[in-house]
Structure 1
């Protein structure tokens, strides 16, 4: 009878272990499924980030090219020294004292009488 009790006890423990093993397998399947799902999400995020990085690099290159064009354009601007020379000549000529052709004809007409 002692052998029968021991046998029944072993069978009971075996069933408990089988139940625990089944539960662990189910948990493992759920964990695997979650990991696969999370991996796919992370892979998608990485792909999106790479696309964003490529776009940022392209935008940066465009900005660099635009800056180069602006710098090239500013090379054609007059320097402050050139502007000072022009100002000197304009002040020397004093264009406000110029007369129009019409005014000259009027003055000549008045003189000739």
Structure 2
């Protein structure tokens, strides 16, 4: 058997205690790391759930927006169809030209014509009697 140094036998329990102490420190550190990782995982799961919910909400909003856009497109199409049935500027100009040619302000009413006829008859009768 090899000879042992007397100081080394005294140091063995001390070294053993130090090793045990280091192992405990490492175990605590390992346990703390595991707890942190577990907490991080839980937070990630919560974040994932929140993101999924937000995505659902956005998807619903996008669907509603698409419906609104389709309604607006239909309304615009109807509006354009209505506008196509309006009279064009050129057609109005033609009508204006004819109205100006006819000059309806110079037209006489039926009553005015009857009065004129009566006057003429009277004049004719007066001439015949004279």
Q: TM-score surpassing 0.5?
A: yes
Does residue 24 (structure 1) correspond to residue 54 (structure 2)? The answer is no
- Rounded Cα–Cα distance in structure 1 between residues aligned with 2:88 and 2:29: 87
TM-score (structure 1 length as normaliser): 0.84
Mapping 1:51-90, distance limit 5 Å:
51-90=60-99
C-alpha displacement at 1:97, in angstroms? 2.0
- Rounded Cα–Cα distance in structure 2 between residues aligned with 1:96 and 1:44: 74
Structure 2: stretches of 5+ with no match in the other structure: 1-9, 123-130
Structure 1: stretches of 5+ with no match in the other structure: none
Aligned to 2:42: 33
Alignment size in residue pairs: 113
- Rounded Cα–Cα distance in structure 2 between residues aligned with 1:38 and 1:15: 34
TM-score (structure 2 length as normaliser): 0.74
Aligned residues: CA RMSD: 1.8
Correspondent of 1:15 among 24, 47, 50:
24
Q: Alignment partner of 2:87: what SS?
A: coil
Aligned to 1:94: 103
Which of structures 1 and 2 has the bigger CA Rg? 2
- Rounded Cα–Cα distance in structure 2 between residues aligned with 1:100 and 1:26: 104
Q: Alignment partner of 2:78: what SS?
A: helix
C-alpha displacement at 1:108, in angstroms? 3.5
Q: Alignment partner of 1:78: what SS?
A: coil
